[in-house]
Amino acid sequence: MNLAVHAPSSSCEQTHCGAHDVDEPREGVFKVCLECGHAFATPSDLLAAYNSERRRMAEAELDGPDGTDYGTPALVPVTDVRQVEFCPCCAHDF
């Protein structure tokens, strides 16, 4: 397994994370995205990444075309991993 950033190859295609261009373990992880291959080690890791990406996307929608910041979105964090709808690394639906 290659933990350095690298292009995918036939030798690492089963463990390569396309979102970060590193190989990630597949054994004992909570969830692996079938699109980008990112492995989430625990439910908490997935929830943290998902909530962070939701906030980033919502904040981007509140920025005006001229860069004006129109505030902070009122988002309630997702606390149940079964409510995670997409991979926070590539936005692929789960």
pTM, to two decimals: 0.79
Residue spans of beta strands (DSSP E) within the chain: 16-17, 22-23, 31-32, 39-40
Q: What is the pLDDT of residue 9?
A: 82
Q: What is the pLDDT of residue 52?
A: 95
pLDDT of residue 45: 97
User: Domain-by-domain residue ranges, the chain?
Assistant: 1-41, 43-80
* Residue 43, Ramachandran bin (φ over 0: left; ψ between -120 and 50: alpha; else beta): alpha
Per-residue pLDDT at 81: 97
Whether 66 shows a pLDDT value over 70: the answer reads: yes
pLDDT of 2: 62
SS (H, E, C) 45-94: HHHHHHHHHHHHHHHHHCECCCCCECCCCCCCCCCCHHHCCECCCCCCEC
Q: How confident is the model at residue 28 (pLDDT cuts 50, 70, 90)?
A: very high
